[in-house]
Structure 1
Amino acid sequence: MADLEQPRLKVGFIPIIDCAPVVLAEELGAFERQGLEVEIRREVSWANVRDKLALGVLDASHILAPLPLAITLGVDSVTVPLVNVMTLEVNGNALTLSQALWREMEEAAPDLVASGHAPLVARALAAVVRKRAAAGAPQVVLASVFPYSPQNYMVRLWLSSGGLDPDRDVRLTVVPPPHTVAHLSGGVVDGYCVGEPWNQRSVVLGIGRVALTGPDIWKGMPEKVLGTTEAWAGKNPETLKALIKALLEASQWLDEPGNRAEAARLLASPRYLNTPAEVISRTLDLPDFHVFHRNHANFPWRSHADWFLKQMVRWGQASPSIDIEATSDRVYRTDLFRAAAREMGVACPEVDRLPPGGHGEPLVPAFEPMNHEFPASLRLGD
């Protein structure tokens, strides 16, 4: 084992199922096997994670896949170069709507709702939006967990597939994941997009309906990554390598179907998700819904970063003049991941990018001002 520059670490996480590699690396002793003494810290919001990484209160954290890009570019309120050294999970999100909004959609467009097809259900929501506007009623309010998040882009793509302008026809807001259920129950929002188990929690309580899941938009969308500052990564290469290796061990364990029940039991602890294990299992046991390791799930594809940056430009969060490839190359550190994976005997792709559409992601059109009638190239099916 190489000498570690900083064996004692503070690693953050938000209570969502995709924090599982961080939690299980602790519970399985993977950190200890790599010579690390890790204090894992439960955080209350992605803004907290962002600020604590920037200030050095956290050495590394479970973080939204697009957020290191936004913080490095300075388009968020904090500007500190961050790096993503591995993906922690793909898939795992869903959009939950209140029972009241669902009933409005059934009344306005019963055939579209009954189809179960994501773009058609979005058109049912569009019918409600038009009906509310005609009556002078309040707009539909939908929450995601952060402006620079897969959830925000997932909601926007879904809304636009139904002919809605996400920035005009509905009101989009931000709610931290642990607070989503309470906001829906209290009528503060009409729906939210978040990682599990917070969608299943509303379903079990009878207050929400899942309208679509992440795979309805992009099967294989990267959700959370391991982020740290560029400066910390540069000063602690052996420590970072050990951290990646511990998380790789936990990710491999999590993808064994026989381990999912134990994972649900451990994640249910008040220290972590503070949610009944049965609720966690409802989603954790779904085939291919939570992918932690297989099919190169941990590889920090730079083409994933390219896609997120194009979304930021598309929705007016970043300037069209940004150098997308250079930013992706700086932030998504395939070199650091490969070095750790090699020592673990984990195979990596030979390239850093696939061509647009190579991951099955929705294609992003050439950049132009947002029009109310959304370009057909971004519609989610027929």
Structure 2
Amino acid sequence: MTEFFNQISRRKFIFAAGASASAVFLKGCLGNPPDNLTGGSTQAQPTAQSVSNISPEQTPETTTVKLGYIPIVEAAPLIIAKEKGFFAKYGMTDVGLSKQASWGAARDNVEIGSTGGGIDGGQWQMPMPHLISEGLITKGNKKIPMYVLCQLITHGNGIAIANKHQGKGISLQLASAKSLLKELKSSTPFTAAFTFPHVNQDLWIRYWLAAGGLDPDADVKLLTVPAAQTVANMKTGTMDAFSTGDPWPYRLVQDKIGYLAALTAEIWKNHPEEYLAMRGDWVDKNPKATKAILKGIMEAQQWLDNFDNRKEAAKILAGRNYFNLPSPEILAEPYQGKYDMGDGRKIDDKSMAAYYWKDEKGSVSYPYKSHDLWFIVENVRWGFLPKDYIANNAAKAKELINKVNREDIWKEAAKEAGIPAADIPTNTSRGVEEFFDGIKFDPEKPEEYLNNLKIKKVSI
């Protein structure tokens, strides 16, 4: 691997050197399920150990932080860390979770920060933290440094299609539907929605369409719709397809409004999904509190990956104070890797379920720099970022990633929490990635990847 994927900047060395050199093993206590959990308002009883066990060297500078989230399964580590007492266990006793109406609202709120009534960070699609840091999606193009701290989840997303398109070949492989969808563009274009432009769910649907021979900017109509409004918009016929996280795609099937053409787990097995990222100024001011937040999330991720806990997790998440679902069962089956796709196809495979801590390829939680690079390359592919980000072996993209991706803080937190060395990646690249259409992304050769793609806006 190149030096980029293992370098530590002077700034990161200073952060690490300022932290305690000791690594204290803090044993997780998962405890017993809370009583009287329902699909309505739920308050799980904290089960983690007392904050009195925190060493003075690891005591957070502040116990207060405000984190934003969107009500989809990617937010589960934040919610579980609060409800099960994992944040409090590491000294963060006043973590406020703020439900965001949309990704645009989350961006606006992180711009002003908690001191202005907004948020300090939270759950993000990628590469939103990089775009905010560059001032590319902020008001007045103001640059607000953000730090990516961990990946929250893999899988848990799907591409849903309106029932009126049943039997037309609109599935994972689009070859048989290509002509039909192209013909529609001259009258009523096939309309596909995502929750925010230039990021995960936009990129998933674009990759899927392009792999099927369709130009997402010429052959279909794309629009932005908040996640919680996707089911209603498909029901009224506003859109033909959407890409977002559970519970919404599966709820559409349960409500008999549509079917699932593909899971993102089928498009790219064990793919990067959403991340925890925070304002850089908050992290720089509160390095020990940042690691305490990370330790709470790491413990929540491990708790979530115990499938015996997932029924309880579904009940907590479904509550009125979080996802406000009519029943926890909308989450319970996908959480076990069970999907009724709505078109006669059924999936019963735990490897297709959402994972938070580890998957078949290793760590989910650790934020690999190579994954940041893929998101940036895809932004260049579709003309969202200028191609100079990828020129000269992606030198500009790598410079940005080194500023934003703080995998060094993740490692410090993991060591302090007593995470086994085998679960702490030693390389910031996960290596070559392969997609469902056979295309491979080698992070050492980003220009080659881009040039090998048939449908794109630019070439290097």
By the TM > 0.5 criterion, same fold? yes
Change (3 A) 1:223 1:354: closer
Report the alpha carbon displacement of residue 131 of structure 1 after superposing the two structures with TM. Answer: 3.1
Partner-residue secondary structure (3-state), 2:153: strand
Which residue of the other structure, out of 266, 270, 275, is the alignment partner of 1:225? 275
Which residue of the other structure, out of 357, 376, 393, is the alignment partner of 1:293? 357
Partner-residue secondary structure (3-state), 2:222: strand
Give unpaired runs (5+ residues) of structure 1.
106-111, 376-382
Q: Which has the higher contact order (CA 8 A, sep 6+)?
A: 1
TM-score (norm 1): 0.89
Confirm or deny: 8 A CA contact 2:192 2:222 kept in the other structure: yes
- Cα distance in structure 2, aligned partners of 1:249 and 1:46: 26
Report the alpha carbon displacement of residue 181 of structure 1 after superposing the two structures with TM. Answer: 0.4
Residues 54-203 of structure 1 mapped to structure 2, 5 A cutoff:
54-56=111-113, 57-78=118-139, 79-103=143-167, 105=168, 112=169, 118-119=172-173, 122-133=174-185, 136-203=186-253
Change (3 A) 1:187 1:333: same
1:18 and 2:35 equivalent? no
Q: Deviations over 1:110-135 (max 9, x none)?
A: xx55xx6x22xx223322223324xx
Partner-residue secondary structure (3-state), 1:49: helix
- Cα distance in structure 1, aligned partners of 2:370 and 2:157: 20
Q: Deviations over 1:7-30 (max 9, x none)?
A: 111111100011110110111011
| RMSD of Structure 2 on Structure 1 (CA) | 2.1
Deviates more, 1:123-132 or 1:200-209: 123-132
Partner-residue secondary structure (3-state), 2:166: helix
Larger-Rg structure: 2
Partner-residue secondary structure (3-state), 2:380: helix
Aligned length: 360
Report the alpha carbon displacement of residue 145 of structure 1 after superposing the two structures with TM. Answer: 1.1
Confirm or deny: 8 A CA contact 1:83 1:227 kept in the other structure: yes
Partner-residue secondary structure (3-state), 2:161: strand
Confirm or deny: 8 A CA contact 2:126 2:275 kept in the other structure: yes
Amino acid aligned to 1:124 = S
Confirm or deny: 8 A CA contact 1:217 1:362 kept in the other structure: no
Confirm or deny: 8 A CA contact 1:70 1:148 kept in the other structure: no
1:339 and 2:412 equivalent? yes
Partner-residue secondary structure (3-state), 2:274: strand
Report the alpha carbon displacement of residue 48 of structure 1 after superposing the two structures with TM. Answer: 1.0
Please name the residue that 2:41 is paired with. Answer: none
Partner-residue secondary structure (3-state), 1:89: coil
TM-score (norm 2): 0.75
Partner-residue secondary structure (3-state), 1:202: helix
Confirm or deny: 8 A CA contact 2:310 2:335 kept in the other structure: yes
Confirm or deny: 8 A CA contact 1:313 1:367 kept in the other structure: no
Please name the residue that 1:352 is paired with. Answer: 428
Confirm or deny: 8 A CA contact 1:303 1:354 kept in the other structure: yes
Confirm or deny: 8 A CA contact 1:84 1:228 kept in the other structure: yes
Which residue of the other structure, out of 258, 261, 273, is the alignment partner of 2:323? 273
Identity %: 29
Amino acid aligned to 2:133 = T
Report the alpha carbon displacement of residue 367 of structure 1 after superposing the two structures with TM. Answer: 8.0
Confirm or deny: 8 A CA contact 2:151 2:366 kept in the other structure: yes
